[in-house]
Structure formats: structure tokens, C-alpha cells
Structure 1
Amino acid sequence: MREPLSVVVTTYNSAGTLEACLASVAWADEIVVLDSGSTDATAAIAQRYGARVQVQPFAGYSAQKQAAIDLARHRWVLLLDSDEALPADAADPVRRALESPPCAGFQLWRREWVFWRWQSPRARLNHYVRLFDRERARMSGHSVHESVQVDGPVRVLDVVLDHYGEPDIAGRVDKANRYSSLQAAEGRPRRQAWLGWRMVAYPSVAFLRYYLLRGHWRAGWAGFIAARVHAFYAFLKYAKLHEARMRGRAGGR
């Protein structure tokens, strides 16, 4: 007997991508949308797909997703971002996975839209736990790059999510600025050793890892630009930690 499935999505002014997201999981037993107070057509789109919509102020990425998971009526949850969509043929493998599931969670692959094209099919895909038994899983609690932490075995499901992400360079740079501020705030209570050298060296390491090791050089200029923004994000994270340290030594001036 197959376990029923709740699809859980957190939203904020997500009208541009939410329709594709919800259309890709219209076959699920339940769709839950937790909105942060959108002022666009997000709620109307969610209701059109029969989603159960609730609203609460944004509590942070990890906490907001955990609150959405807690709203699910079913034990097994598929967690999606509002700018992600499953492929058209995903229903069958997901349903098969939920027939006497052999584990506590499944990782799904994800391919990235890079400004004006999809990443190369020969580039390395990331994978994330997105389908899981919510009674054996919790969000990690990190301020950014939050993840599902599962108490039990995890397997990989052969399903590839489409992630549309930021539609342009400006959006990705803005995200790098916001995320680096959150990561710097999260890192301030901990003593960071060799902070200056990290600020100098790590951006180049981040660029090479993203561009060469993950294969984004195959996406041409789109991959190069994305790798440079990724390196800038790494620089900002350590630069903001350094700034906070210097301000602390100067008595907050």
C-alpha cells in the first residue's frame, strides 16, 4: 500500500514560478503552501491548484520550512521551493518509492537554470533530501543553505528537479549579498581562525570548484559569470565577518 504524499511549498511573491511548481505535483494527495504575506497573485495560483494556503510572517528560511512541514497532514512529505518543478514523468517513481519505503528519506537530483540556459547535462548535479518521513526528519536550523536532516537511512531517487532560481545576474548578486549577511551573522559567535587568509584565498577556491570541478565551464559565458558571482559570495561572507570583527575592536564605531 502506498503512503499518501503531502507536497509542501513556502512562498513569497512567487507568482512568476509557482504555477509551474504546483502543476508539476498536481497528482499529489495534498499540497500545502505557507506564504509570507505575498502581494502578487501567489495565493490565487495556489488556490487554483487546490492547495491549502496559510500565511505567517517570515521566520527565517529553515524555521519557515519547518513550520510548513508541520502543517502537512500526511507522514511523507515532498519539500519544494516555489522556483522548483518536477519533470512530467516524476509521479510514477515517487509513487513507487512510497510503496513500503525502505528508508527515512530520498535525495533528488537538481539541475540549475543559469541566467539564460540550463546547466550543461554533463555538469555535475547537486542532490538534496526532499522526499522524507517527517516523523524522522527536521530542518537543520541554518540561517541559509538549510537542509533536511533525517534520522535514518537515505537513498537517491532517480528524479531531477528543475530549479529556475534567479532570472538574471542582478538577482543572483542580490541573493549573494543577502545570504552572505545572514551567514556572517550566523558565524559571528564563533571564533574564525585565519579570517584574513580565508578572505584572500577562498574566493579563488570557490571559483575553481564551481567552474571546473562541477563542470559549469560547459555552460559557456553563463557558467563563467555564475562561477564569478559564486566566488564573490564567498568573498563577501568572510569580508563581512572581518568587518564585524573590526567594528567590535573599535567599540562599534
Structure 2
Amino acid sequence: MRESLSVVVTTYNSEDTLGACLASAAWADEIVVLDSGSSDATIDIAQRHGASLHTQPFAGYSAQKQAAIDLARHRWVLLLDSDEALPADAAAAVQRVLESPCCAGYQLWRREWVFWRWQSPRARLNHYVRLFDRERARMSGHSVHETVQVDGPVGRLDVVLDHYGEPDIAGRVDKANRYSSLQGAEDARRQRAWLGWRLVAYPTIAFLRYYLLRGHWRAGWAGFIAARVHAFYAFLKYAKLHEARVRAAQGTPRHPRQR
């Protein structure tokens, strides 16, 4: 007998993409939406799609997703971001696996919308654990770039999520600024070594890895700009970590105009 499935989504002002996300998962046995105080039409969209709707204040990316997973009624969970959508063939692939799961979790591929176009089909796709037995999996606890950590073997499904992400350059730069602050604070707790080297060299490495090795040069100017923003994020997180260390060493000096 096939295992029942809960699709789990966390939301905040997600009206632009949530409808497509939930419609793509309509075949699941349950859809759980955990919202963190949306002021747009997110709640109405979730209710219209028959989701089991819950709300709580935002607890951080990893903790919020874990809270949503804990609300699921079924043991097997498919975790989606509110700006992701499953392809038409996902239902058959997932249900086939759930007839006799041989792994504790399964990775799905993901293709990215890059400002005004999809990434090239010849560029490298990322893959993430999204389908898993929640009794053998937990969120990683990272401030950003949180992942599902599975206790057991991990397989991979031939399913490609669509990730809409940020609709424009300004949105992606804003995200880079937010994420770099969170990542810098997390790195400060880890006592990162060789900070000067990282600050100088890593942004260039990040650009080359994203643009050349992952094949985003195939997306033309969209790929180039995305790679530059990615490098900017790498620069910001180490620059903010350096700033935090300087302020700590100097006793957090105030700006001259604040004195």
C-alpha cells in the first residue's frame, strides 16, 4: 500500500507564486501551510486550495520549516518553498516511490528562473532533499541555506522543480543583503579563519564557480548578472563578518554623527 504524503510549505506574503505552488501539489494527501503573518492574499490562496493552514511568528528559516514539518499528519513529507512548483509528472514519480520506499529521503532537481528567463537546460541543476521520512529527518538548523538532514540512505528522483525566486535584480540584491547578514552572524559563531584571504579571493571564486562551472554563462546577460550578484553576496558576508570583528575589538564604536 502506498505511503500517504503531506506537502509542506512555509509562507510570508507569497501571493505571486503560492497559487502555482499549491496547484502543482493538489494530488497530495494533505497540504500544510505555515504562515508567518502575511498581509497580502496569501491566506486566501492557501484556503482556496484546501490547505491545512497554521500561523506562527517567523522563527528563522530552518526553525520555521521544521515547525511546519512537525504539523504534518503523515510520515512522508514533500517540502516546498512557496516560490516553487512541481512539474506535471511529479505525482506519478513520487507516488511510485511511496509504494515501497527504499531510502529515508530523496533529492529532487531544481531549475532557476533568472530575472527574465529560465536557466539554460544545459546548465547544471541544483538538487536538494525534499521528499523524506520525517521520522528520520530534521532541518539542519542553519540561519540560511538550510537543508534537510536525513538519517539513512538518500536517493534521487527524476523530478525537476521550477524555482521562480526573485523577479528582478533589485529583489535578488535585497536577498543577498539579508542573507549575508544572517550568514555573517553564523560565521562569527564559527570563528572563521583566514578572513582576509576569504574577503579578497572568495568573491571571484564564487563568480567563476557560478558563471563557468555551473554553466550560467549559457543564459547570456541574465546569467552574468546573476553570477555578479552571487559574488556580491560572497563579498558581503565576509565584509560584514570583518566589520563585526572590528567593532568587537574596538568596543563597538559609534558613528561620529551618533555621538
Query: Structure 2 length as normaliser, TM-score?
Result: 0.97
Instruction: Give the corresponding residue for 1:47.
Output: 47
Q: Separation in 1 of the partners of 2:28 and 2:175?
A: 31
Does residue 146 of structure 2 align to residue 146 of structure 1?
A: yes
CA deviations on 1:188-210 (whole Å, 9 max, x unpaired) are 12222211111000000000000
Q: Separation in 1 of the partners of 2:114 and 2:252?
A: 39
Instruction: Give the corresponding residue for 1:237.
Output: 237
Amino acid aligned to 1:124: R
Instruction: Give the corresponding residue for 1:14.
Output: 14
CA deviations on 1:129-177 (whole Å, 9 max, x unpaired) are 0000000000000000000000000000000000000000000000000
Q: Separation in 2 of the partners of 1:26 and 1:191?
A: 45
CA deviations on 1:99-123 (whole Å, 9 max, x unpaired) are 1100100000000000000000000
Instruction: Give the corresponding residue for 1:161.
Output: 161
Instruction: Give the corresponding residue for 2:224.
Output: 224
Q: Separation in 2 of the partners of 1:29 and 1:70?
A: 16
Q: Separation in 2 of the partners of 1:153 and 1:191?
A: 32
Q: Separation in 2 of the partners of 1:189 and 1:236?
A: 17
CA deviations on 1:37-80 (whole Å, 9 max, x unpaired) are 10111011111111000000000000000000000000000000
Q: Would you say how many aligned residue pairs link Structure 1 and Structure 2?
A: 253
Aligned partner of residue 188 in structure 1, secondary structure: helix
Alignment of 1:36-75 (within 5 A): 36-75=36-75
CA RMSD of aligned residues (A): 0.5
Instruction: Give the corresponding residue for 2:30.
Output: 30
1:98 CA drift (Å): 0.4
Amino acid aligned to 1:153: P
Instruction: Give the corresponding residue for 1:108.
Output: 108
Instruction: Give the corresponding residue for 1:201.
Output: 201
Does residue 93 of structure 2 align to residue 93 of structure 1?
A: yes
Instruction: Give the corresponding residue for 1:183.
Output: 183
1:90 CA drift (Å): 1.1
Amino acid aligned to 1:55: T
Aligned partner of residue 107 in structure 2, secondary structure: strand
Amino acid aligned to 2:30: E
Q: Separation in 2 of the partners of 1:187 and 1:118?
A: 32
Amino acid aligned to 1:83: D
Aligned partner of residue 9 in structure 1, secondary structure: strand
Aligned partner of residue 189 in structure 1, secondary structure: helix
Q: Separation in 2 of the partners of 1:61 and 1:174?
A: 16
Q: Separation in 2 of the partners of 1:192 and 1:133?
A: 34
Q: Separation in 2 of the partners of 1:229 and 1:202?
A: 13
Q: Separation in 2 of the partners of 1:130 and 1:190?
A: 27
Structure 1: segments with no counterpart, 5+ residues: none
Query: Structure 1 length as normaliser, TM-score?
Result: 0.99
Amino acid aligned to 2:11: T
Q: Separation in 2 of the partners of 1:189 and 1:83?
A: 30
